[in-house]
A = this chain, B = another copy of it.
């Protein structure tokens, strides 16, 4: 097989596996989000803050992908979010098989709201579906406003884009309005939220979005069972 054929085969196998995962998520009525960003855009911090706000009202869990270390899962557990670390041992993205194996190994049952925190990488994770309901892209203001056009795949495919660390916007050159416009030009249906875990800005809107999604999945499951 040529390199292109191998890649096509890998992606096709992954999609089949992800479709099976998605059926399982839907049967449970679980909302599953695939969080993708550069290293250090604030995925783990956002999940910590989310757990602190919502752990009492929604049953949550997280699978956390990293090339090395268990640091992120430890941080999430300390914040009250059941979390299982996926150490990819070099792989630059999660695929459906990692998620399958992690669900089998995790010390918690599939919750109503499952976060899959991908490896910090704005490129490769965009090509691998994991059975998620939707992708969430994070872009911190310190990364610069040119990123949506430079990494179009993820910003085209993410239903939600979170502009993070907006408390630092005054210290860097970042035009929030322009970035919002760029993201929407790539994906006109995208929801774009501005967030700061440090100040709390935007967290109400983010949690409202999660509640809305969880309620919709619950409703769809109840209908399917009726």
Q: Interface residues, chain A, CB within 8 Å of chain B?
A: 1, 3, 6, 10, 38-40, 66-69, 71-72, 90, 92, 119-124, 140, 142-144, 146-147, 149-153, 165, 167-168, 171-172
Contact = CB atoms under 8 A, between A and B. Distances in A.
Q: How many copies of this protein are present in the complex?
A: 2
A149 B66 CA distance: 10
B40 A153 contact: no
- In this complex, the member of A40, A151, A172 whose beta carbon has the largest number of chain B beta carbons within 10 angstroms is A40
- In this complex, the member of A72, A146, A147, A167 whose beta carbon has the largest number of chain B beta carbons within 10 angstroms is A146
A143 B40 contact: yes
Contacts of A67: 123, 150-153
Given A120-B122, A121-B122, A142-B140, A152 B68 contact: yes
A124 B88 CA distance: 13
A171 B66 CA distance: 26
A40 B39 contact: no
A68 B149 CA distance: 7
A37 to B, nearest CB: 9
18 contacts: A38-B122, A39-B144, A39-B151, A40-B140, A40-B143, A40-B144, A67-B150, A68-B149, A68-B151, A71-B149, A123-B124, A124-B124, A142-B165, A167-B171, A168-B168, A168-B171, A168-B172, A171-B171
Contacts of A167: 171
Contacts of A90: 153
Contacts of A69: 146, 149-150
A23 B198 CA distance: 50
A150 B10 contact: no
- In this complex, the member of A69, A142, A165 whose beta carbon has the largest number of chain B beta carbons within 10 angstroms is A142
A40 B123 contact: no
- In this complex, the member of A66, A67, A119 whose beta carbon has the largest number of chain B beta carbons within 10 angstroms is A67
B71 A40 contact: no
Nearest to A2: B6
A66 B147 CA distance: 10
